Structure 1
Amino acid sequence: MSIHQPRSGHHLGGPARAPISTTLGRFGWAVVLVVGLLLFEVVHAVYRVTGNVRLIPGLLLVGALTPLVATLAGLYGSSLRPRTSGFLLVAVAAVSGVLSISVAALLEYRTQTRLGELPPLTVAVIEESSKLAVPAIVAVAIRARHPLDGLTVGVCSGAGFAVLETLGYSAQQLVTAHDRLPAVDGTLLDRGLFAPATHVAWTGMAVAGLWLALARRTGRAWLTFVALLALAVTLHTAWDALGSVAAALLLSLASVGALTAVGHALARQEPT
């Protein structure tokens, strides 16, 4: 009598349960979000009781980081799970965030000095272009094999930019507002809710197109990159020009939908 191994996905006594690690990976974004919100509320409550201004940097950091780290956790738990190392992604988020927001601020300052008030299109072009530099260097340095990895790197580049921009706006609120907490809470809430659908999504799709072009080096691939960058700039411009919550929700859905569509299209690409 021969002994046969059970088929994959089943064990003696019924269907196999999903490994705990798989379940945590799938819902890791929710864990990160809940833990981040709890930490934020703890620091918030202690600040209200003590009035200790030294707690404010921690409050801002947790508030700015939580939605974006949850987004990255969701990406890892999705069908588009990246193969890029976690260390590289963290490095891209940190280095690209600092460099891109600095370069964008300098270019916007010089352009505003010459032209006066900046139109939303100019701001969008400057910021979306500045976030491409570090991902382009990474693509050349590691000889990128799959454009889907570029989407992940782009998401991290956009996340780094978004975190620093949120911290900047929050710091501005602290300086200008008399009642600090309500003003800062509003800034963190607004930017936390929409950041994954703005800088993260725009930069993700643009860098995915860039890595595709660098990997294929064909006219069609470069046209795809230009089209995706133009889409990111268009969505960014519309976002800066909007004036209602309904418009923000529609643009958020459009941005996330575009990023998802690009990701699934690139997942079918053959490695080079």
Structure 2
Amino acid sequence: MKKVFGLLTAVGLMTAPLAHASTVTVSGSTSVAHVMEVLAENYQNTTNTNVEVQSTGSSAGIRAAKDGTSMIGMSSRNVKESELNSSTKEIVIARDGIAAAVNKANPVKNLTQEQISKIYRGEIKNWKEVGGEARPIVVVTRENGSGTRGAFEEIMKLQRTINGHKVTAISPTAQVGNGNGMIKTIVANNPYAIGYISLGSVDDSLRAIDVNGIAATEKNIVAGDYQIARPFIVLMDKQAPKNANDFINYILSKDGQSIVAAEGYIPVQ
């Protein structure tokens, strides 16, 4: 099903609500899309309702929900009031941690939030400064507009204000990867790289390091001990079609939330 979703284009999605009113269109955060595609597939199998999911990034998903080019938008960061209008509603469907991930060959097992921030600011440049090998750190970040990047910057205090506007404090020398998948590939193939990805996307190709001595686990996020965490949000118009509301109700149901848990995220129900 993911291959089918991957064939969708932004232009096609913009016309989908008009051309196929019976189809539920969903677009936005690549992190939320990871679980949304599974939810959509299961929902289609049980209801015979077509659901199309496209990974376009949180900012694009928020805009799509606001201007009506998508029935449902997805965001993996908090939404600013300026990005909404009076008819847009937000619904939290799950919670997720953001894992600071390194290559499995990297001996560093733990970093403080301050150390991670300094690495991303370019103030710590070599692994030997944090207990690793005497090799330069390859810093990997997400693209602009990524909800994961927005949440990571906010939590890790990686923003600065210039002329009244918030801008990133991440070093301009950092490599940029579009989506969790690309970040994983870069880190998994470079023993000196560090990146950040959705906790639900962590697999055996890399390793999530402890932060402030706390492991990145669901238990620690629920307890409030692991601090790098964010909500998974969907946005839709208050007058959205019934089929879109029915899909959201399914996501929030016992069956939908069991899928959220099975995919490695934290249910909200």
TM-score (norm. length: structure 2): 0.24
TM-score (norm. length: structure 1): 0.24
Whichever structure has more helix as a proportion of its residues is 1
**Bigger RCO (CA 8 Å, 6+ sep):** 2
